[in-house]
Structure 1
Amino acid sequence: MQVDLNFLLKKHYASFFPVVKINKEKDGIHTFDFTINNQQISPALIADTNAFSAYITQQLTANNATYGIGGYNENRVLYKRSTLFDGAQNRSIHLGVDIWGPVGTKVYAPLGGMVHSFAFNDQFGDYGATIILQHQLDTVCFYTLYGHLSLASLHDMRKGKFITRGEAFCSFGNPIENGNWPPHLHFQVIEDIGNYEGDYPGVCSEPDRAFYLKNCPDANQLINFDGGVFY
């Protein structure tokens, strides 16, 4: 009998180490909306990385927040900034959770695992520096993807390297090394990674939504701020 990954994530959530160390009371967290409902998001804004970065900073400052968060299953307008997401069916459904914050912010392993793969996905709008970890919970194998990292995060990586729970193993990159995005982490859970190496779709089309959401459970279930899941 196959065990449901969502069930396991909920079962073990209290044991997960914070992916980013955030004190919700001290640091403050702002939830971003990148759907068509946010009228501040214009094509000109998202096409200009500097302007987009300034917008993120302004929103965080205005909301007394050090970090921003959001995005799972969000139908975003952001991906019109890059032809990477074009196709017969344009991709706009976000499959991970984004944590927006300062360049160099440390990222921690929520649970122990091995390095499955890593890569520098250097197209405009892509992940930039990327690491994928392989984990096991109650004999069930799954993966976590960390995108938009610093290139320094890849320096000591090798396949099969063990990463311990709570280990700071990577950090937020700047736009030059993170795929030309404002600094943030794309964090995603993947059940079946197939043949992908150092990459996996973080955005899907509307027709593929049901398939990818099933294969990529809500990563909020592993983001443990102050000993509790953020929703």
Structure 2
Amino acid sequence: MPEVIFNGPAGRLEGRYQPSKEKNAPIAIILHPHPRFGGTMNNPIVYELFYMFQRRGFTTLRFNFRGIGRSQGEFDHGAGELSDAAAALDWVQSLHPDSKNCWVAGYSFGSWIGMQLLMRRPEIEGFMSIAPQPNIYDFSFLAPCPSSGLIIHGDADKVAPQRDVNGLVEKLKTQKGILITQTVVPGANHFFSGKNDELLAECEDYLDRRMDGELVPEPAPKRIR
């Protein structure tokens, strides 16, 4: 797994990158939790998601937001981190111009950044939003959400209470043309303490089903003129 350094808006960004053997393989970018609360690209959940996508033939990247590890710059309360994520996707795409599709997976703070990236990049066809925090971050930009995806969280999460996540999911489910899958991990807190295996199994199941053409809305029937 190559260690990479690439240019970001505030200086160099440090990442871990695994190219697929297939030229046109999809790209997956995994975004880590809050930099001010110990979040890095080596977070165990981020690490496992990276390998989950890699095992399924994706070209995969995880990286440190600005000011973390060897990434230059300073924490920017989300705006700069979104620019970092866009630069990371640009960098991978420059190496893989034949890749037409992309997935983004984010955990906690990373899920907020990932959902914003989703709004700006039409090539992102799927997302995984793990333990999002709509009680803390504004998700109103998802109007409408352009891609189908998974929102997964624990029913014992006190950082992002279930009722708040349910409210976000219900809002997204009213939108046409996408399918939001919500999964609740019983007994899991915000950090999925002792529940990482269950979390990963649910994410793997979702990704496998999406790759099999499931969990997306049925195409609208053609009108006969």
The reply to whether TM is greater than 0.5 is: no
Q: Normalising to structure 1: TM-score of the pair?
A: 0.33
Q: Normalising to structure 2: TM-score of the pair?
A: 0.34
Q: Could you say which structure has the greater relative contact order, defined with CA pairs below 8 angstroms and 6 or more residues apart?
A: 1
Structure number with higher helix proportion: 2
Structure number with higher strand proportion: 1
